[in-house]
Structure 1
Amino acid sequence: MASTSVSRVVPASPQKVWSLVGGFDTLPDWLPYILESTTLEGGRVRQLKNPDGEVIVERLVDFNETERHYSYAVVEAPFPVTGYVSTIRVHAVPGHEDLAEVQWSGRFAPVGVSDDEVVDLFTGIYRDGLDALHKTLSG
């Protein structure tokens, strides 16, 4: 099992950040890689579409409003992995009410590629996503 984690401090309060990223169906609001999100099964599953028209289906496996985090598993995706589970967390930055740290992490087993290749893939996705979140909150 391989894993990666990326974190980024963003210019908004933890509550403001969570109000943007904490909705399981809000990825198109801040992540340019996801153009469309449709919820299924009462909001526990999201069907995403990327710019190439590929479909990604993810299932919510854990959600904690108070601690500001959720985890999801990939059900279907064009990624060379199996057993993918990812978590997005929003943390307070001590002494800075107007900042938050967002951590996006995942674990997965590569299929047909090396650990390094999938770690690089998801590290890039998480880094680019958190950069886009920073830009959204700065604008």
Structure 2
Amino acid sequence: MPRPYASGVVPASADDVWKVVRDFNGLPAWLPAVTASELDEGGSGAEVGAVRRLTLDNGGTVVERLVELHDGERRCTYEILESSFPVRRYVSTFRVAPITASGETFVEWWSEYDADGADEANLTQTFADGIYGAGIAALRKHFDG
């Protein structure tokens, strides 16, 4: 089972970064690959079970359900319900942690999924670099001004 992963440092406090990324319906504000997000279920998007419908910059759509939102550990886990990605049982986690020495934030994002063997390498690179790594870079830019 593949486990794409990316991490990085964001020049802002963990509390400030968490305020931005914990909004389950807020991806278009900071993630360039997502042009729109609409809640299908879960009015505020802050409750487990909320379902969002994302429109991607390539015109594709992804429907995801919030599985866990843990403010104390600054961690969010979600699963894909429908997608143009050829994956099955995709579950992803995003975590934010303070870097106490600098006041910055360590961000990590990963997933586990099932897919046909022929698709795994391309999907793993797309998720790790094209979504998670690019998303963390976009957060850096968001807070860098």
Instruction: Provide the TM-score with structure 1 as the length reference.
Output: 0.94
Aligned residue for 2:16, secondary structure, equals helix
- The alpha-carbon deviation at position 112 of structure 1 amounts to 6.0
Aligned residue for 1:75, secondary structure, equals strand
| Conserved 8 A contact 2:41-2:51 | yes
Aligned residue for 2:143, secondary structure, equals helix
Task: Deviation per CA, 1:110-130: give whole Å up to 9, x if none.
Answer: 236243222111111211111
Task: Deviation per CA, 1:41-87: give whole Å up to 9, x if none.
Answer: 21300100012221110000111011111100001111121110000
The answer for the alignment partner of 1:32 in structure 2 is 32
The answer for the alignment partner of 1:106 in structure 2 is 111
| Conserved 8 A contact 2:86-2:119 | no
The answer for the alignment partner of 1:17 in structure 2 is 17
- The alpha-carbon deviation at position 109 of structure 1 amounts to 1.0
Instruction: Provide the TM-score with structure 2 as the length reference.
Output: 0.90
The answer for the alignment partner of 1:45 in structure 2 is 51
In structure 1, distance between residues paired with 2:18 and 2:95? 9
Q: Which has the higher strand share?
A: 1
For structure 2, the residue ranges without an aligned partner over 5 or more in a row are: none
Aligned residue for 2:18, secondary structure, equals helix
- The alpha-carbon deviation at position 18 of structure 1 amounts to 0.4
Number of residue pairs the alignment of both structures matches: 138
The answer for the alignment partner of 1:75 in structure 2 is 81
Aligned residue for 1:2, secondary structure, equals coil
Quick one: percent identity of the two aligned structures? 38
Of the candidates 78, 102, 118, which is equivalent to residue 123 of structure 2? 118
